[in-house]
Structure 1
Amino acid sequence: MTVQGLILRYSAFAIVAMALNLAAQRAVLSLGEGGWYFAAAVFAGTLVGLVVKYTLDKHWIFYDRQTGLKAHGQKFSLYTAMGVVTTAIFWGTETAFWVVWKTDLMREVGAVIGLTVGYVIKYHLDKRFVFNAGSAEARA
């Protein structure tokens, strides 16, 4: 795959994961207001985005064909660990926008900015530490 194709595909998958993340957040926030709902919404959105993005990245970015519970468990654990710092960027940006502007629109703008920065960093971490044996670049 060309670099442009990789960027396009990775960006499309990031947009899908972001949209599902924000949809999950909206679903939780529709249940109520306040700090606990906000925290639950961010957590739920992150979980949904994580599972979707892992599945798409594994198969369509890094071409990882390992199967089985043990292989998936190890990869998903590493994938999640690589996401800890990038999730902090996302949560911090989203929360900062919420604290400053206190509107759902600006909270979501902060989420998109934080997720975008996080996904760029995460791609490089995943390529190096999670999917290094299955990536097209590693096979070349």
Structure 2
Amino acid sequence: MLRLLSEGHPIGRYVATAVLSVLANLLAQEMTVRGVPDAHLMVSIVVGTLVGFFIKYVVDKTWTFRERYTTPFGEAQRITLSGLFSVLTTLIFWAFELGFHAIWQTDFAKYLGAVLGLSIGYILKFWLDRRHVFRESTV
């Protein structure tokens, strides 16, 4: 399956890394909630977001878009631009997650909102990354 994805279109690889990132995000949130049960809801959301961003960026650079290393300055530019786009898409994600939680007041609703918000955000982020971050990709 992984080989089939590796040889496929970048969109297929992006979807696979998005699923991996979503799972890592939600797992990190749940581990935070269990590890620090008295922490505010936003602590778990921020931890999950940071874990998801790190995994998504590294895997997208090396596997999804197959972007080659350029220079430290070039890498810093890519990380910064990807980070800025991530802020935009994270606002979408958080709005869904927090909105679903505020309306239905359950963990299931919170995680459903997270999955929906992350899905919408990742669709937008694919387009932004492909067009502006990983312009020199080998795919």
- TM-score normalized with structure 2 length: 0.87
Q: Give me the whole-angstrom Cα distance separating, in 2, the residues matched to 1:43 and 1:94.
A: 12
Aligned to 1:61: 64
Shift in Å, 1:120: 0.4
Shift in Å, 1:89: 0.4
Report whether the alignment pairs 1:24 with 2:28: yes
2:20 counterpart letter in structure 1: V
Contact 1:98 1:106 in 2 (8 A): yes
Shift in Å, 1:68: 5.2
- The number of residues matched between the two structures is 134
Aligned to 2:100: 97
2:97 counterpart letter in structure 1: E
Report whether the alignment pairs 1:38 with 2:51: no
Report whether the alignment pairs 1:12 with 2:20: no
Could you say what secondary structure the match of 2:67 adopts? coil
Q: Give me the whole-angstrom Cα distance separating, in 2, the residues matched to 1:61 and 1:13.
A: 8
Distance 1:57 1:18, change over 3 A: same
Contact 1:28 1:37 in 2 (8 A): no
Q: Give me the whole-angstrom Cα distance separating, in 2, the residues matched to 1:113 and 1:56.
A: 21
Aligned to 1:76: 79
- TM-score normalized with structure 1 length: 0.86
Percent identical among aligned pairs is: 36
